[in-house]
Amino acid sequence: MTTNITADQRAVFKALTSGQHDNFALFSCFVNGAPATAIVTVQWDGDEFAVAPLFVSLTPDMVLTDHDGVPCRVPEGAS
């Protein structure tokens, strides 16, 4: 099976779900001008915070499909 998931993405997901790190945050942002939310890391970098995006929420114009092109279905009542 083919995958678009990289080793770095697996490592970030493992770090995120392990509970061993406390520098993850939800970040209100925009993707190509559309309102979105990102999971980010926040680190102190000299005299300011550095915010690095890890994963970004879907925006209204995005269509998420599987490798066969089948769109994902959002369950009733979920957003």
pLDDT of residue 78: 64
E strand or H helix that includes residue 11: helix 7-18
Residue 75 lies in a domain: no
Burial of 12 (0-12, 13-18, 19+ CB in 10 A): middle
For the entire predicted model, the pTM comes to 0.72
- 34 within some domain: yes
Domain count across the chain: 1
Other CB atoms within 10 A of residue 77 CB: 5
Beta strand pairing call for 34-45 and 48-56? antiparallel
Let me know if residue 67 belongs to a domain. no
pLDDT digits (tens, 9 = 90+) for 9-68: 999 999 999 999 999 999 999 988 889 999 999 999 899 999 999 999 888 888 888 888
Q: How many degrees, rounded to 5, is the angle at CA 67 between CA 15 and CA 10?
A: 10
The whole-number pLDDT of residue 48 equals 94
Domain that holds residue 48: 7-56
Per-residue pLDDT band at 79 (split at 50, 70, 90)? low
User: Is residue 2 domain-resident?
Assistant: no
25 inside domain: yes
Work out the average pLDDT over 67-71. 88
62 occurs within a structural domain: no
In a domain, 78, yes or no: no
